[in-house]
Structure 1
Amino acid sequence: MKKILRAVIKPQILLAIGAMFLLVSCQSNDNSADLKVDPETGQYVHNAVGNPYLPLWEHLPDGEPRVFEDPDNPGKYRVYIIGSQDVRTTSYCGPDIRAWSAPVEDLSKWRDEGPLFTYHVNGQWDVMYAPDLVEVKRKDGTKEYYLYPHSRGPGREAMVAKGDRPDGPFTPINMTDDSTRTVEGSIMGFDPAVYIEYIDDPEDPDYEIGFRAYGYWGFQRSLAAELDQKTMYSLKPGTEVIDRFIPASNSYGDIRDPEGTTYPNVYEGEDLDAFNFFEAASIRKIGNKYVWVFSGYSGPDYGLSSTNSTLRYAYGDSPLGPWKSGGVLVDSRAVVQGKDGSSLQTSYSGHNTHGSIELINDQWYAFYHRAPRGFGYARQPMVAPVTIEWDETPVSEGGKVTIRAYDPYAEDNIWTAEDSQV
């Protein structure tokens, strides 16, 4: 049976599936709404509709969306966007991992959760790149939150911090006694991502623990592994790190992995040139399938020059694949149809992008970032609702996941580049 999740608001990004391309119009948020103070928490709340969805002075790239229960209002849920922060003007990011959150029922009210984590050692602050934050529900009912802050400090890239709330505070759990390096066995690397899979089968060897944890990382080289559930930073005993998880590229179709590399985690017969991994892994489960989102190169997918301004995705039957390429999910250059209708053109500057998808109040959304006027050190967070179609047939038997833009005014609810001319 086919499952369809549809959006209710016109999207503002480009989505391309396989040979298809689906484009969305851009509406810019004037950010003229006042920043108000929440009387209950004393935190600032940004009230506005449109993109970028945070205040124009907030440059939060690399955003990872997560829905967690509100620790101060049990039974209520908030979506948290956890990211780095561009503040240095001449290079990426800054010393903080920052977060904003909004009630799942109203994504126009974003609350500033402030800096979640910083790390100071030997008189200097570490720069923090793209992070991830996951919730672990233990068998005894307790919740733990693991932050993978992606420190750029020497010997500290694999740092992991733990807290009792999604908004912190977080304490590093895998540092040496002198606080300068991660302990031996810490395996996470560049742009870390973690997926938690809960186990309800009494016959499963991990049933007593209650979950499995999978880690993903890499820059122009993709890696993955099962994490030890006891540490959440080391390799699960009896398993190995998977190197060359999917093909990485220098540009579209130009695989940079060593000649002769094999990819056991890619379906046999798949076009290896279609993956184009660059960085920024993230994974979600949709129905009975897994969707792996990453920053990757576009190109002949829809007739424009190759760029890593896109998020791509792959799908499979397990958190470790094997995978099939889904194509381009987001192009932050805001591609539109040319004036004569015979070609496509960009309507916004290109740079890198990073993000994921998240189910919020029964609606899927795609999160990503863009570089205003092409300036890559002041990136802005963006979001748009999407339509995701999937069937219950396993990928191994031909099942698919298709992500499309949504147009509530179209008869078939599908928005295409041609619609931008109407």
Structure 2
Amino acid sequence: MKEYKDCRNPVLPSNLHIPDPEAHVMPDGRVYVYGSWDQEENIFCSKEYRVFSSDNMVDWVDHGVSFDSSKIPWIFDKNAPKYPSSIDWTKPTPFLKKMIQKDTKDGKLEIPKFPDDMLFAPDAIYRDGKYYLYFCMADSSEGVAVADKPEGPFNNPAQLPCGGIDPAVFIDDDGQAYFYWGQFFAHVAKLKDNMVEFEEGSILYNIVTEEEHYFHEGSSLRKREDTYYFLYSSMVRGKPTSLAYATSKSPLGPFQYRGVIVDNDGCDPQSWNNHGSIEEVNGQWYVFYHRSSQNRQQKRRLCIEPIFFNEDGSIKEVKMTSQGAGRPFAITEIIEAYRACQLTGSVYIAPLKNGWEGLTDIRDGDEAIYRYVEWEKPVNDISIEGTGSGEIKIYLDNEKEASGSIILDKGHIMNSSFQGSSGKHQIKLKFSKVNSLEVHTIIFR
């Protein structure tokens, strides 16, 4: 077990790539995050899960590996039940065509392939003294394992009577449990009290769809007051980088599309998908989601933003931020360059040769945005630490003219000037005259 102190985005250390976060406040009052784990360089997820928890959204405990696919008996059992996914890959929907990256030479769509024992996005829930971890595999099988503690270890996996990906579990106020799953089409079934079997005849197919709701994958259900919120990865903006939601007065639907909560487009040049959840922690609601790094679709990292509801129950869309669940960055506080929440051009966030993590592959015209800083008084100096050479102009908010600039020559500051007013600001760095430039930290004084 390890402990980390961080309330800014991304939340966990740079070597922990935890996407698909499902956050739940468990009976002990702590919020637990259950997610996938991008351990490989060029493949989504891995064969292990890891659990993290916090009681204040600042101090995080890494509980280590909670479950691994070697415990699953049916993966390579030819006699085990097979419940194929409901997706017909031979008849792709319009958005499905966008999801596939390229066509083969004979015109057929190239279907992503993974080892059968890869663990994709999970979910978890507490019931009657036990904790249930729901998981899905690359072979389209789904299952549930049980533990005595919210962090696991989870054992005795049982296969669920369905096929697909991205399980979600929800227990209503009357004690009835529901299980959701699917890609491009979301389905639901009532769970029996044993949390493994479906009630006979209870399956409802296509309660949320690509055509009507822009549904891509990643079902997640929460209830607030008398409204059920169905959160999911959405294709509404052309690729599944946004988390959208639909609402209903019943956990079985019908669900009405309501809008986007957060969009991670622009977090990385290769950003492709999103997946997450919402949860109320200590009286404040948050959206838990992921952002890509290292110029890959993978290497996704846990991020968190506070969210707010309108009087009609709708959720206000929030921008990606660097501050996350914490406060804005203050005067003289070091802003690590890897906290950039939006990037334009070729620049991306990655570990650097000297051990830092920061901005790399910077080219002329690239931009990096940090949200937010908050200054109690005017600021008149900036310092940027990095390597290589280049000119960096600094813009506040939506300024057309820069508030300052800094010139680095082989990592040394040759010239700098800055004038910034007090208050809360977005910071934008714009790069030019670049020669092997990498950025590590930024400080305003």
Q: Calculate the TM-score normalised by the size of structure 2.
A: 0.60
The reply on whether 1:159 has 2:143 as its aligned counterpart is yes
Percent identity between matched residues is 31
Moved more, 353-362 or 382-391: 382-391
Distance, in Å, in 1 between the alignment partners of 2:257 and 2:51 is 31
Q: Shift of residue 68 of structure 1?
A: 1.0
Match of 2:225 among 287, 308, 311: 287
Distance, in Å, in 2 between the alignment partners of 1:295 and 1:348 is 19
Q: Is the 8 A contact 2:228 2:247 kept in 1?
A: yes
Gaps of 5+ in 2: 78-114, 322-326, 329-370, 372-395, 400-445
How many residue pairs match? The answer is 286
1:179 corresponds in structure 2 to: none
The reply on whether 1:132 has 2:139 as its aligned counterpart is no
CA shift digits 1:140-185 (9 cap, x unpaired): xxx2111112133x47x221111111011212342xxxxxxx3xx6
Q: Secondary structure at the match of 1:282?
A: strand
Match of 2:14 among 56, 64, 67: 56
CA shift digits 1:357-401 (9 cap, x unpaired): 00000000001001114412211111010111344xxxxxxxx43
1:372 corresponds in structure 2 to: 293
Distance, in Å, in 2 between the alignment partners of 1:188 and 1:131 is 14
2:3 corresponds in structure 1 to: 45
The reply on whether 1:421 has 2:401 as its aligned counterpart is no
Q: Shift of residue 102 of structure 1?
A: 0.8
CA shift digits 1:190-219 (9 cap, x unpaired): 1000101132xxxxxxxxxxx101111111
Q: Within 5 Å, which residues of 2 pair with 1:68-217?
A: 68-70=26-28, 77-103=29-55, 106-120=56-70, 126-136=117-127, 138=128, 143-152=129-138, 154=139, 157-174=141-158, 182=159, 186-187=161-162, 189-199=164-174, 211-217=175-181
Bigger radius of gyration, 1 or 2?
Answer: 2
Structure with more strand by fraction: 2
Distance, in Å, in 2 between the alignment partners of 1:219 and 1:404 is 24
Alignment RMSD:
2.7
Gaps of 5+ in 1: 1-42, 71-76, 175-181, 200-210, 249-254, 256-271, 300-305, 335-345, 392-399, 410-414
Q: Secondary structure at the match of 1:54?
A: coil
Q: Is the 8 A contact 1:187 1:233 kept in 2?
A: no
1:31 corresponds in structure 2 to: none
Distance, in Å, in 1 between the alignment partners of 2:295 and 2:265 is 10
Q: Calculate the TM-score normalised by the size of structure 1.
A: 0.63
Distance, in Å, in 2 between the alignment partners of 1:47 and 1:125 is 36
Change (3 A) 1:347 1:150: closer
Distance, in Å, in 1 between the alignment partners of 2:121 and 2:218 is 8
Q: Secondary structure at the match of 1:402?
A: coil
Point out 4+ residue stretches in structure 1 off by more than 4 angstroms: 121-125, 346-349, 406-409
